[in-house]
Structure formats: structure tokens, C-alpha cells
Amino acid sequence: MKKIIVLIAALISVTSYGQTDVATARASALGSTVNYTAIATNGSELGPIRYMQDGTGGIAAYGTSTPLGNVLRGDSVTITGPLIEFSGLLEVSPATVVTNHGQAVIQPVPLQVPITSINESIESQLVVLENVTFVQTGMFSGTSATVQVTDGVNTMDIRVNGTTDIAGTAIPTGPVSITGLVGQFNANYQIVPRDLNDIVAYVAPLFEINVLLEGTTVLHTDDYYVGSTTTTNGTIENLGSIDLIVSGALFSGIDAADFATDIVGATIAGGATQNFSITYTPSAVGSHFAALEISSNDTDENPYIINFEGAGTDNLATEPTGNPSGLTFPIIEAYTVSGQYTAGTGASDYIVLWKKGSAITGVPVDGTSYLRGDLVGDAQVAYVGPGTSFTPRGIIANQDLFFTVHAFNGQGGFENYLTTTPASGNVSSTGENIGSYYGAINSNSTSLITDLNALINPHNVISYFLYKETIMSNFEIRDTIGGQSVVTCAYSGENLIFNDPFDWSETGYSREHTMPHTWMHSYPADSPEQPEYNDQHNLYPTNLNEANIPRSNHPLGVVTGNVTSSYLDGTLGQDASGMLVYEPRDSQKGNAARAIMYMTVAYGFNFGGDVDADDQDQYLLKDWHYADLPDDYEIARNEYIFSVQGNRNPFVDSVDFACHVDFDNLEYLGADCSQASIDENENIVFTVYPNPAKESVTISLKSAEVISYVLLDMQGREISSSSNLNASSVKINTDKVASGSYLLTVQTTLGAIQEKIIVE
């Protein structure tokens, strides 16, 4: 089979733009910014996406900006942008910098592959499937749709874009050759043809060599790892119509003497095959390398080369001579951390370990294959692969994170890790980064509600259907053992384990509107989507059948009896007044309250005048809000949404905004927050104002006195304190306190109280 290497160096110097190649970009961590030059293999016929490739691999770029939209098929383009995974497809999105160098001198040639070779290694590359037949008959859909082709045994998805001239035409009958880009949608790979010229009647070649090892095609110039296997069975296929003449085979390379084959000169008729074997006998410890060269009259693949690697007599690969160095953290946020390092010496791959709270003591074990999420001693695997950057999943705010990076060689149980002096480092994820966001907001102003509304609107509108690519991929989904992933149902607390990529239907999960869709003034607000329908502050992942559907549009409340539905820590039933309510798990109650309070202020909803929402108890939400203060998860979530949607949830940032708002009629309650600041000890009624604070903050108690207080930052470090106060009102100067969030703990004559404050 043909595997053509695309050379773009003849057109432009790669180093002149300081970028990596595509293979390096693909090996980079999700979320990191990559920069590369490659050739576009499609134009506007597929919309705002451009599939691109160089001699090392393929990658997609996406963006609605004019520069990318002007890229034509065959243009050499330098792309810069963040690396994401969109429904399984690795892509740079949005492409923030696009430099078009014009038509490339050497154009990509389609890689001829069988259906069984369509996988991640050739994603986004231009390929051709020969001698396949459409499963469906009739007409292609006039809109975007997926059909299938078969080689008689295997099937493959063909994605026909509604913007191409293929849509609405007749589906060919009989064998065809299909050229297209290797795309992916969730777990399914697909071929994306660009126009009618990509689908032509199949014409059998005169002769065509294809090589299989242990029943699987190995493309020309590909690698094959034998490990310690002494005998590997192979087959030479002639996919043509006349004789393929094989003149012989040999092994070359530094360890050629350790490999042998029984391939001899032979004539293989059209459509026929010939079996052969490879024997491997390692002569020493460590990795062994050799290239099999099969000579034939197939001139464009003569010789047909397969690169072999085997383990040594110790059943291990060669140990690297040097671990990576220079571990740094170019991205540090409340919701993500990205690391990078300088490559080690004599190494093909790296394993990154991470741990929260303290230094790592565990090391990887030779001969063991690890997947992302696996446990290694006291640490977890954040990354395994050839890249020199990583982004662990599951980062939340205010966490001390420790990392080590080991170099290794080998695979499949023959790994040899360099366990001494790994690259190591630690970093702390940030907390709230409010800055001057609320600089113009005054809690004592009667215009507080309208001021907050104006502050958080307008914002970036992100489609409800992109929630998987934003919140799910970049925040909610975490690693677990065996290379699998896990997501938590916000309502019930279920931890659902699944295989990537995430898919709503396959996992049975949904994007739950905490403030139900039917409560919204604009209901139905989904066609077209309104900002209130897709606002990410209001959406959480939930189990569709066990949590989302039972909750429906019922008000949130405390279930006291007559349970209708229950799943783990989420329950539907009657409250004390006999009303049907849904009660989420305790750790979601404050989150849910703040999401609903945000929606009322952001979009002018209220519980008194809106018929579908009039059963929602605002005092219960306020109770939940104060009892379940924002934790590090919710802080990180708020920061992430701010990074993509461009606005913040004020009720996460400032606990006391809620006490100023009457959510039944969306009116300002006044500057006195005493009614809302009721501690778990119901005898203590107190006010902390102003919050956010600038020059000072005052603690005021009713029916009690302040004995002492301590002000801590979110890392637990003391900022200020005082004791033996014995006063009902205490003023704390904050003019020299850095902007940010703090925890105020107050000892009173009736017990302890705690309040989160913001200093601007």
C-alpha cells in the first residue's frame, strides 16, 4: 500500500517561522498553544474547518476568521492556536493566527489505505479507499449526513457535508475509489470527501503490493513492535490484476543480524497472496532495530519498508541515558495547569506523574505499561507519550500540585523507565481572580440589581451544543485508572466511568438547566437559542434518566416524605408543605442556589411573577447559599466559565450579594444584610458589610458580642486578627490587604461564625 511522505521544506523553511511540525503539535497537551506550518487539503467546501498535513501527520484547524476562510486547497499555511478535542477530532480551535504562504510546490498525495488502517495515527490526513461499495442506494441527503461503504468484510462511515456538490446527488453503485480526509465523530472514524471528484469508479491497478503482519496491514515505512516474539507471521498481497513479482527481501540496520525472514523470489498472481514469517533472536539486552526491505516490481514502493523494533534478552527496551529537564508551568489557572519540559536523551517517550498536597515518592516499574489515570505508587499518571508538554485533567482551585517526569523506551510490557533524577516541580493552582470586575458595584446602592445585570451582560454566547467541548472536555471530565474517564452527576453524586471520547447518548448524561428551561420568559428558548438557554453558569452534567428527568421543572426543596424517585443522593418527593420538590445532594445545594440566583439577575426572572417559578422558595435557596459556600471546585468552575463566556457569577464571588435581593419580585432589599446572614447557630444574627470591601469591613452582631476574629486568605494564611474585643460591632481595616477572597472567622458570645469576604 502507498504511504507518501509530503515534503514542504522545498517551499518554506520550517525553522524560519519557529514552529513545530504537525506530529509534535498532535503530541502537545490539550489546551496548550501550538504553532506549525502545513498544507491545507480542503478549502471552503467543508465550511470553516481546514484539514492540514505535513510530512509528519495531519491536524485540523477551525475558525470563522477571514484569514482561515480564505485558505484554499493546496495552500501552505502557518497556524497558531489552542489545541482542543472536538467530538474526538483533535484540532486547533480557534486558529488565532493564520499566515498564508500561497500554493505549496509539492502537494499532498492521498495515502492509500484499507478500512482497517483508519485510526488515530492518520487522523486528518488525506487518504483513498480503493475497491469499496456503498451500503446505501438512492440519493445522498441534501444536507449533511453519514453513509457507509464496505470492502466486503469491514464498513466505514463516509460523512457527506451538505455544503459540497456531493449532497443531493445519486449514490454510485458498484466498486468505487473514495478520496477524503480522516475525520472523527465521538468513537467513530469517518472519511470526509470534498467534492464529486473524490468519488470515482474503481479501476484495479496492474499490480499493487500490500503487507500484513499477524493479519493487520502495516503500511509502507510504518513501525512494527515485536517485543520478545520470536516468530511473526506475515502475508504479501497483490491487490492488482496481473502478476506482482517479488525479487527478494533482506533486513538492514544496526541489529539486522537479529532478524531473519523466509521471503524468497516469487510471482504472486493478481488477487493472490503469499505467506512468510519473521524470526527474531535478540543477541543482547536492550532495544534492537532493523528494517525489512521487500523488493518487487511495484516501483513506487520498491522496496516496501517496515521498521522493526524488539526487546532485548532482558525482556526490556534500552533504558534512556538522561531524563528530561527544565520542568516549567506556562499556564497556571484555578481550573487548569499546563507543564512543559526539555526532552531527555536516548528516549522515545515520557510518563508524567502528579499528586496533590505533597512531593511524589512513587516511580514507574520496568516492564509495566501505564495509561493516563493509572496509579503509580502515591501518584497518578497525567500523560504518557512522546510529547514534551502535558495538561492534567481534574484541576480545581487552590491546590498544591507536584509533578515528576520520567523518560522511557519500549511498549507492550517491555518498557524501561529511567527512575533516577526525574524532572520534578510543583505549582499551586490559583484561586479567585476577580480583580476589578466589581469595581463599579456598590452593595449599598438601590441600583445594585440593575448594575449587576449590566455588568454580566452582554457576554459571549456559547451554543448549548458546544457544552461538551467547553465545560465537559476542559473542566468536568477527569482521569481514572485504565485510561478511562469519569464525570460526576451534579444532582446525585454518581461517578460515571466511560471510555473517551465523551458522548451524551452513550453515557446517558445531559446538560441540566438548574433554572429549568420552562421557567424562562422566552420559553421555548432553544430554536433559535437564546442566551438564557445556553448560559454555562446554569448548566451542569447530570444522569438523564436518574436525575434530570425526575427533577424536570420541579422547584428545589427539602424532601420530607412521599418519595417519588430517588437515585443515590438526589431525591424527588414532597416537602413539609406537601409540594413536590427535587432535593439534590448536599454539596450541590449551594451551587444550584447560586446558579438560579444568577439567572434571575442576569435575565430579569423572579419567583413571584413567573408562573412556572412561583413555587421556588427563595429563602431556602438563600439558606443553601450560606450553608454550602463556594468550594474550590465551584471557584474553579466560575473562573473557567469567565474565561470562555466572559462574565462571572456574582453570587459565587461575593456571598452577601444575595442578602440584598428579593428574588420573589427582583427588588433591592436595602443595605442591611442581617436577615440573610444567619449562621448554622440560629441564635447568631450578624452582618458583614460592605462586601466586597475596599477600605474596611464591619462585623455587626445582634444579641451577641464579638470576642475575637481572624482573617485568612484562601490558602489558610493569617492576614489579620484581634482578640478580647467584647463589642457588638467591630471594624477591620482592609486598605492594605491585597485584592482577593478571604475567610473571616469570628468568635462570639454565642458561638463561632464564618463568612467569606472579598477585598477589591
Taking the C-alpha atoms of residue 692 and residue 439, their distance in angstroms, rounded to an integer, is 9
Query: Tell me, what's the pLDDT at 18?
Result: 43
Burial of 717 (0-12, 13-18, 19+ CB in 10 A): exposed
Query: Tell me, what's the pLDDT at 760?
Result: 73
For 280-295, the pLDDT digits (tens) are 999 999 999 999 999 9
pLDDT band at 10 (very low <50, low <70, confident <90, very high): very low
Residue 10 CA to its chain's centroid (Å): 35
pLDDT band at 673 (very low <50, low <70, confident <90, very high): low
For 292-336, the pLDDT digits (tens) are 999 999 998 999 999 999 999 999 999 999 999 999 999 999 999
Query: Tell me, what's the pLDDT at 699?
Result: 84
Query: Tell me, what's the pLDDT at 266?
Result: 95
Is the pLDDT reported for residue 671 higher than 80? no
pTM of the model: 0.81
All domains of the chain in start order, with CATH: 14-103 (2.40.50.200), 111-201 (2.40.50.140), 209-310 (2.60.40.10), 325-428 (2.60.40.10), 448-668 (no CATH), 685-759 (2.60.40.1930)
- Of 368, 403, 373, the C-alpha closest to 389 is 403
Query: Tell me, what's the pLDDT at 685?
Result: 63
Q: What letter would DSSP give residue 475?
A: I
**Residue 289, strand partner residues:** 309
**Residue 194, strand partner residues:** none
For 103-114, the pLDDT digits (tens) are 999 999 999 999
What does the angle CA 23 – CA 29 – CA 35 come to, to the nearest 5 degrees?
A: 55
Query: Tell me, what's the pLDDT at 677?
Result: 42
Q: What are phi and psi of 143, to 5 degrees?
A: -115, 180
Taking the C-alpha atoms of residue 359 and residue 537, their distance in angstroms, rounded to an integer, is 35
pLDDT band at 692 (very low <50, low <70, confident <90, very high): confident
Query: Tell me, what's the pLDDT at 702?
Result: 67
How would you classify the pairing of strands 729-733 and 740-748? unpaired
**Contact criterion met (CB below 8 Å) for 87 and 469:** yes
Interacting residues of 557 by C-beta distance below 8 A, sequence separation 6+: 575, 579, 581, 582, 583, 617, 620
Residue 659 CA to its chain's centroid (Å): 37
Taking the C-alpha atoms of residue 413 and residue 202, their distance in angstroms, rounded to an integer, is 42
For 522-558, the pLDDT digits (tens) are 899 998 999 999 999 999 999 999 999 999 999 999 9
In angstroms, how far apart are the furthest CA atoms of the chain? 102
DSSP string, 195-210: SGGGEEE----S--EE
**Contact criterion met (CB below 8 Å) for 10 and 367:** no
Classify each residue of 570-592 as buried b or exposed e, where b means 16 or more C-beta atoms within 10 Å of its C-beta.
bbbbbbeeeebbbbbbeebbbbb
| pLDDT over 90 percentage in the chain | 75
Query: Tell me, what's the pLDDT at 187?
Result: 81
Cell of 512: 441540566
Query: Tell me, what's the pLDDT at 755?
Result: 80
Cell of 53: 498535513
Coil, strand, or helix at residue 78? strand
Higher pLDDT, 6 or 510: 510
Higher pLDDT, 61 or 738: 61
- Of 70, 62, 94, 69, the C-alpha closest to 81 is 94
